Structure 1
Amino acid sequence: MPKTAYELEREANIAKNRAILEELDLKGAVAQLGLPSKGAQAKRAAAAAKPVQPAKKRKREEKDEAPAPRRQSTRLRRAGAADPNETPAERKIREKLEEERRMKEEEERLEAEEKAREARKPRHQDLDLETLMEGEQPEDVAALKSTLAEVCKTSHAKRTAEQDAFVFDDDEKEEVGLAALRKRMQKLKVVARAKVTQDRVYSAVYHPEVSKDIILFGDKHGQLGLWDARAAPDEVAGEDEEVSATANGEDGKYWRMQAHWPVTSKSSISTVKLDPIDSNNVFTSAYDCTIRKLDLTTGVSREIHSTEDVLISSIDLPPAGHEMWISDALGGISHLDLREHPSKARWYGLSDQKIGCVSINPVNPQYLLTASNSRALRLWDARKLQTFSGVAEGALLTPPPSSPVPASRIRGATTDDRAGPEEHGAEEVEQFLKSKRGKGCLRAEWVHGKSVSSAYWDPRGRSIVSTSYDDTLRLWDIRPAAFDKGTTLPSFRPFSQIRHNCQTGKWLTILKAQWTPNPDVYPHFTIGNMDHSLDIFSCKGDVVAKLSDRQRISAVQAVTCSHPSIVERAASGNASGRCVLWALPDDSS
């Protein structure tokens, strides 16, 4: 094939450039330019002139491989199974068998779906320790039983203080008491750490046993962790030598019990409380709308109260221990007598928004505190509230237009069918408060800048501390004489306001200031700090201690609690389930 004019001109240019470079003695430059040599040009021209050869066909095997069987659906297999020569009678028998098989498969599918639905529902039956620790090793269950048997040898009752305890006549004595407390609390160090629960810690309580440090933590997924923080860890045998459990950063021993169900955020344990007359009974409330009591002596968890669809935010019990007050997300509180059937409970709508905390005065149990998302902290006289008779017979069968009570909680269709608790909506309560009979029911109120996340009485039933999303801790001091009057308190203004970052956001448990339950020491409370410390304040708002350990603690200690009788004891937990014991480093008691 003759070359085109372009190819001839291109080859002439290449030859001319090569000649110039050779005259300049730049043979290396020729190679760097990548110009083809004369031999390469000749080979390329020969290859271009050679006609294109067809691809060689592969020699087939003498015997073709058998094709792999193709996958086929059950429907096609069944269709193919039919014999074209079968008689009508045989066809009817085959179709009948296939129909029975399909019905059986459908029943199995529906049964599996029902089991899955049941697995997502709360458990209302009694649960023994083996069920609570399902999936754990038998030796772990046996170890917990052994620990509980030792702890439950003694039962402790909740102690309270006199209302005028630690009330000094002059500031000098007040400073002496505060200085003594500071000296003791500032010596606390991290003495034990462990991942007690699998998920975020929501609540905690310190058991009063003095021979051991037993702390119970409730987490986001309904798990109740029991931590024996000072117990000697079990030795784990390795391949070459024995390695202590502390090598993995775990101190003491802990056990996890699935107290509430299902294992999702719908079962977050909002409160853990000890029975005030028997410390071996543990009450837990959760977002699964149930309240359970775990008997540490028998290891049996029993449901004592439940609602259909109302999230329970907190519980509290008076010193007598026979009653319980329950707050919920609908803005109501319920009164439950533990000696009666749960259907005898009474529900009162006290707010148009969620009540996140209810607290009973330990010295005067008739006075309740409620902290609400409506920004209001309110003090109620429960005696007045319980005498509120509501409206006429049968009028509660349908909710009033503005009532926050959902239809699923309203009593049945007839006045004789009353399985649910007696309920009084917010509109009824508002009317009652305006009436002559309701005078003095609402004793005091203070509106915060933002939602009130918690408010608690101290062991004397005198001081109140509240936490709010307006980043302020507030303190009240109510003299006993103010309770004697049956009307609204003349003054209900906090005497101290402490700036404190409470912006926990979505991934941290809400910060709540917790009084130490020890009545023998100057009143003080603990609260987590966003800078990863544990802050301790006195009942007067003075800083007692700011405990931290940058090397061992790298998360917010959002949940706190204190020992009921040992001053130098505090515990805290974070969003990963890791918990910390604060005590004197050389204290082994």
Structure 2
Amino acid sequence: MEERRITHDDEVEVQSHVASGGLSSYELERLENIRQNQVFLSSIKLFEATEELRQLNRPKPSQRRLVRTKSAVKETLLPRKSLRLQHKEPETLTLPSELGALLVTPRKPPGPLPLEPVNMEEGSKLPSQLLELWSEGSTEERKTWLDLNEYSSALKSMRATEGRVETERIFSAAFHPCASSLLMATGDKLGKVGLWKLGGDWGDGGALLFEPHTGPVSCMAFSRAQPTQLLSLSYDGSLRCMEVEKAVFHDVYGSTVGLRTFDFMSHDCFTLVVGNCLGDVAIVDRRTPGNTHESLHLLDPKTLRCVSVHPSQKHYFAVAGSKVVNIYDSRYLKKTRCRAISRLHGHSSSITSAYFSPCTGNRVLTTCLDDHIRIYDTAARTTTSPLVTSIRHNMQTLLAKPSAVWDPKREDCFVVGGVFHSHMALAFHESGELQHSFIDREDLHEVLSAIAIHPTRNAFLGCAASGRLHVFSD
């Protein structure tokens, strides 16, 4: 039981009882013990601490009956007004600079980079045979308009040769136009550019690897006007040009946004259209000092998969968006709200690629994740281009999304990667008729992540996601 604290009144009462002899000796001893205990507790300030705890634990008054005044509500809640009803443009939000920097990975420093293979000893010179092939160019006339039966027979005569490059997943590939040997270029996931000669003995199995980028090399192409120049573009926001004779990677274009695709907009291949990961396209002139663009245009803020320039009328270019392919005229581009001169409808899912036919540009070939390959008639460039052919083809793969690529030697045939067992790729006529199946070893189950076709020879390159290269040639 808690002892009662002795107050001043208690002490007066005790003294009166003692004077009158009313307290026993036991009671007097008990009171003395209580007094001594109180002296001790007071010395350690226990009573003050107890009072503070009582004040803290005291329940707070209920606020159920507190009512907010109407004036306070009117001050805090402002009426909302629709920008549409006020005939005003919607406000645009911009990312802070520190967030925008996260759109690309750190890339190599601007300016030229030395052409040094990373899979050879430091200080090694480039093979002399590479220099000879690099400057050879094309010595044969373009093989076009073979009879369709003859073309099919030529495809069937091609044989497979496997090569292996110790690299990551390959995102892009291209054939050098030289005809005496097969010289190929590849771009991988980590920013490496490889040069591989079929049957070569330099580097690793005839492959030389360079590191001009730090992100996936999503697009590359040899200049058709100057085949000694290989242009490569990366998600790290850089576009570079390889020149073997000068042993350098030139800095063509740099962006704070990741780059996805490009194509040549002039016959001399000095003007480019470059698409980035935010849906913008930049017009770049390689002759202009520095690595900036001439102009930048917003086309689709959501997605931009591929750009393709008309082979003869270079001011027209096609853009593969989310579910529609748009054709633009570069002479009438604006900074925003660019209007397409023609649209290719009919896709029900994401479009992975769209390419003009290589000779006349009267067709556009598209691949879509709705498991269809489509060919459109773009000769008249009407507001809505009519669909010519639709071919069902399985696009549901995990590592790579197959893209159909025109054979540059023909106007009406293309090749697409296959996903069924040993069928590496399939060649089709624009009518949808299968011309040939490129079949490798029966125990091979790889999906091609990149495809390239030689511009003059009967040669086809398929790159697997594992880094393995498959060449079919006559």
**Could you tell me the TM-score, scaled by structure 2's length?**
0.72
Partner of 2:415: 526
Per the alignment, residue 572 of structure 1 pairs with 462
1:462 aligns with 2:362: yes
1:177 maps to 2:177: no
Quote the residue 1:500 is aligned against.
393
- For 2:153 and 2:139, locate their aligned partners in 1 and report how far apart those are by CA, in whole Å: 29
> CA offset at residue 442 of structure 1?
2.5
Letter in 2 for 1:494: L
- Which residue does the alignment assign to 1:448? 347
- Structure 2 CA distance for partners of 1:509 and 1:147, relative to 1, 3 Å: farther
How do residues 199-214 of structure 1 correspond to structure 2 at under 5 angstroms? Answer: 199-214=168-183
- Alignment deviations for residues 314-371 of structure 1 (CA, whole Å, 9 cap, x no partner): 0100333121001111111111112224445211111131101000001111111000
Mapping of 1:179-578 within 5 angstroms? Answer: 179-190=149-160, 192-231=161-200, 233=201, 253-261=206-214, 267-308=215-256, 310-318=257-265, 319-341=267-289, 342-373=291-322, 375-385=323-333, 388=334, 424=335, 428-429=336-337, 433=339, 441-460=340-359, 461-479=361-379, 482-483=380-381, 489=382, 491-505=384-398, 508-518=399-409, 521=410, 523-531=412-420, 532=422, 533-551=424-442, 553-566=444-457, 568-578=458-468
**CA separation of 1:558 and 1:152: change in aligned 2, threshold 3 A:** closer
List 4+ stretches of structure 1 deviating above 6 A.
157-161
CA–CA separation in structure 2 for the residues paired with 1:149 and 1:490: 48
Contact 2:106 2:236 in 1 (8 A): no
CA contact (8 A) 2:282 2:293 kept: no
Change (3 A) 1:552 1:226: farther
Is contact 1:202–1:268 with CA below 8 Å preserved after alignment? yes
From 119, 123, 128, the equivalent of 1:146 is 128
CA contact (8 A) 1:157 1:277 kept: no
Residue type of the alignment partner of 1:468: C
> Hey, what does 2:50 align to over in structure 1?
none
- Three-state SS of the structure 1 residue aligned to 2:448 is coil
Structure with greater strand percent = 2
Aligned letter for 1:200? Answer: R
For 1:159 and 1:468, the matched residues in 2 are separated by: 34
SS in structure 1 of the partner of residue 147 of structure 2: helix
1:436 corresponds in structure 2 to none
Q: CA deviation at 1:534?
A: 1.0
- For 2:209 and 2:119, how far apart are their aligned partners in 1? 10
Deviations 1:37-77 (A, max 9, x none): xxxxxxxxxxxxxxxxxxxxxxxxxxxxxxxxxxxxxxxxx
Closer, same or farther in 2 for the Cα pair 1:159/1:360, shift >3 Å? farther
Contact 2:389 2:430 in 1 (8 A): no
Is the 8 Å Cα contact of residues 461 and 469 (structure 2) preserved in structure 1?
yes
- The answer on whether the counterparts of 2:344 and 2:376 sit within 8 Å (CA) in structure 1 is no
1: CA distance, partners of 2:140 / 2:292: 28
After TM superposition, give the deviation of residue 492 of structure 1 in Å: 1.0
Out of 136, 144, 157, the position equivalent to 2:120 is: 136
> Please, which runs of 5 or more residues in structure 2 have no aligned partner?
1-104
- Equivalent positions of 1:26-105 (< 5 A) are none
Distance between the aligned counterparts of 2:109 and 2:197, measured in 1? 27
Question: One-letter code of the match for 1:221?
Answer: L
Residue identity (%): 22
Q: 1:320 and 1:298, CA in 2 relative to 1: closer, same or farther beyond 3 A?
A: same
- In structure 2, the residue matched to 1:125 is 111
Q: Aligned partners of 1:382, 1:447: CA distance in 2, in Å?
A: 25
SS for the counterpart of 1:149 is: helix
Distance 2:285 2:118 in 1: 32
CA distance in 1, matches of 2:263, 2:405: 13
**2: distance between equivalents of 1:556 and 1:372?**
24
Give the letter for the 1:478 counterpart.
T
Aligned residues: 365
Name the CA distance, whole Å, in 2 between partners of 1:339 and 1:324.
Answer: 11
Matched to 1:214, the amino acid is L
Flag structure 1 segments of 5+ consecutive residues without an equivalent.
1-118, 167-175, 235-244, 262-266, 389-423, 434-440, 484-488, 585-589
Equivalent position amino acid for 2:136 in 1: T
